Structure 1
Amino acid sequence: MSAGSTVNTPHLALLGDATSVHVQRWVREMQARGWRVSLVTARPQPIDGVAQTVLAPVVRSRDWLWRVGAARRALVALRPDLVHAHYVTSYGYLAARAHSAVGKPLVMTAWGTDLLVTPRQSALLRALTRWSLRRAQLVTGDSPDLLAVAAQLAPRVPRALIHWGVETSRFAPTPWADKPAAEAVSLRSWEPNYRIDVILRAFAQVRAVRPEARLHLLGGGSQEGALRSLVNDLALQDAVQFQGRLDDAGMAAVLARCKLSISVPQSDATSVSVLESMACGLAVIASDLPANRDWLPAEALVPAGDAAALAQRWLACLQDDAQAQQLGAQNAARIARDGDRRQQMDAMDTLYRRLLAGERLP
């Protein structure tokens, strides 16, 4: 163990956004497995039991280039046993540049856009992504298509399929008969990639046939103003509820009253919100993307950006309640079998400890 460790308590330095619920959950899961966790972040938020080193704010993508020195100084001061960066093209780049100063294993987790979109934007970004990945001793991702890109860019770096998983003790089915007849939810952020505008345009078509339908929008984001304007333009003010960012208990409460969850981003890896919706026994409509094909049947998938196809599928779910209930039950069973967060984090803990023991992963 390094000088930064206490007896039998390995020290993990995470690089990632403290504001991200996924990072917060990762921290808690590793604390529960006996790790001391420190966080290097450009977007701070208090997390119990975690010392944070706060980098200068990042406003533009190129700002990451100027945070390397601070990240290196942070890792030297922390003296961790293991370094783990979340999001390859931001914190992963910082870790690739800085972790050699402490001489400890480096893990990177790809989140989706960082490998599925960013490397395609320019030859320079592809080269930087490749360079960063090749400095890691392990790359994890939550879908096979994400890991396939990692394999193309860094074929010699070990890879592991680790998804975020669901806290099944909190996200669990509630009686179908107790739910209102026509309530749906989107858990996706109000950002361009997640196409909340498409959901709203489809919902307008649904309301023309089923005026009792209601839609809950969770997540929050930079497009809030534009989306509220669109709701007004579509005369949906009485049917759309902007819930914003909720904690797990709040999300579970909304999911408990809905029968349908909608997630139609343009690009995505495995979506935690899709898995949580499945765990709660909801029928799900999602973009026809490789990651969603791993979890959902073909009839649940629609072309990304196609409001008419989404509306058609949405109405089909409302018109055949028994079929929607059956799909929801199948979703819950799939998560119970393959989606428990504890299993995923146990697997990650094992990988961490193998790296600490000096093993070279396959």
Structure 2
Amino acid sequence: MGKMKIALVADANSVHISRWSDWLEKQGNIVKIFSLTDNLNSNFFGPEPPLDRSLIMNFGSKIRETTKRLQNLIDDFKPDLVHGYFLTNHGFYASRVENYPTIVQVMGSDLLLHTENSWLLSWIFKHSIKKSSCVISPPLLIDRLKKMGIEEKDIVSNLIGINTNVFKPLEKQNVVLFSRGFEEVYNPSTVAEAIIKISKKKPKIKFYLAGEGSLRKEIEIRLVDTNVEFTGQLSEIELAKIMGISKIVISPTFSDSIPLTAFEAMSCGSVLIASDIPAHRQWENSAYPILFFNPNNSDELVTHILESYNNNELRDKALKLGPKIAKESWDREIISNKMIDVYRNIKNDF
């Protein structure tokens, strides 16, 4: 396949986007990120107007202005294809770009949370898909899309892969990792409650809390006297090094559709303690050791951490099964090449 010029319309601070952009460029493609987030690595077309009743009051003038800024930037780049992410912000604007084949990608909260809480965002979500060549969706959400009236022919099932050559087991240490970040949906507060309780019983257990977010300062204050290291936002290699040595990885999120943390934890052979949500429950019958807890119940999380911390049988099973499952199911090269095939087909059909 010839190399492509690809416009990614997405949050420039997203780890998913930076990894995908890097992978595409390593294959020789020319990639530019267009974002409502002002970032040195992106072409900024914000500020982002609120998608609420105010757009009705001003007849969508701010949305038209934002769309025009994006259209002008895209026209300067002249891509072969536009790929928009998250259908209630960047994906919405990508779908409004004219004269180029466009695909949009469901990321999870845009469907699971935003469309449930707002009729307007629900309309924007569906309108974004109808204006695009196709929608990329995690397998877990396809039935939800069909119930919204999206035709199966317009849906492409695909995930986001991980680099299984980077995320791999290292010599395990007395470490527990939380890497989801510090926004409410990722549930850092329950993690903090659990750490405070554990620190009184097992103060030598080391916790790494990775990522950024609006709740980070609050969590730092709460955990000031505990055995915790806040790493900030980590590169893929830095994160893999910590996850590789972690006995336990926690994924306590309230909502998810592409649980990359679970993929990475399995690839590193770590025991996974995960919130009891559908995105995690898909492995409940797997031989891989996953312990589920109510995301609102820190006591359950404490119990699972303490019981699995010195459970050699559980850890050996994770080391034996996890890397193999990850390699076969979520290897980035396999999944990324599937996406390239989608790009090629959409470009050729336009």
**Could you state the TM-score of these two structures normalised by the residue count of structure 2?**
0.89
Tell me by how many angstroms 1:227 deviates.
0.5
1:161 to 157, 181, 190: 157
The answer as to whether partners of 1:217 and 1:243 remain within 8 angstroms in 2 is yes
- Measured in 2, the distance between the counterparts of 1:85 and 1:278 equals 29
Tell me by how many angstroms 1:253 deviates.
2.0
1:211 aligns to what? 203
Counterparts in 2 of 1:24-103, with a 5 A limit? 24-47=18-41, 52-58=42-48, 60-61=50-51, 65=63, 66-98=65-97, 101-102=98-99
2:230 to 227, 233, 242: 242
Tell me by how many angstroms 1:60 deviates.
4.8
2:292 to 301, 305, 317: 301
Give CA-to-partner distance per residue, 1:282-306, whole Å, 9 cap, x none.
1111111112123464852212221
- Measured in 2, the distance between the counterparts of 1:60 and 1:220 equals 23
SS in 2 for 1:217: strand
- Measured in 1, the distance between the counterparts of 2:51 and 2:269 equals 39
1:3 aligns to what? none
- Measured in 1, the distance between the counterparts of 2:2 and 2:265 equals 38
The answer as to whether partners of 1:86 and 1:111 remain within 8 angstroms in 2 is yes
The answer as to whether partners of 1:282 and 1:325 remain within 8 angstroms in 2 is no
Name the stretch that deviates more: 220-229 or 65-74.
Answer: 65-74
Q: CA RMSD in A?
A: 2.2
Report the number of matched residues: 337
SS in 1 for 2:349: coil
The answer as to whether partners of 1:261 and 1:283 remain within 8 angstroms in 2 is yes
**Could you state the TM-score of these two structures normalised by the residue count of structure 1?**
0.86
Relative distance call for 1:30 and 1:336 in structure 2 (3 A) is same
Q: Which amino acid aligns with 1:325?
A: D
- Measured in 1, the distance between the counterparts of 2:306 and 2:223 equals 19
Name the stretch that deviates more: 339-348 or 23-32.
Answer: 23-32
The answer as to whether partners of 1:41 and 1:53 remain within 8 angstroms in 2 is yes
Q: Which amino acid aligns with 1:76?
A: D
Relative distance call for 1:189 and 1:300 in structure 2 (3 A) is same
Relative distance call for 1:172 and 1:96 in structure 2 (3 A) is same
Unaligned runs of 5+ in 2: 56-61
Q: Which amino acid aligns with 1:331?
A: G
Tell me by how many angstroms 1:128 deviates.
1.4
2:221 aligns to what? 229
SS in 2 for 1:349: helix
The answer as to whether partners of 1:260 and 1:282 remain within 8 angstroms in 2 is yes
2:340 to 327, 340, 349: 349
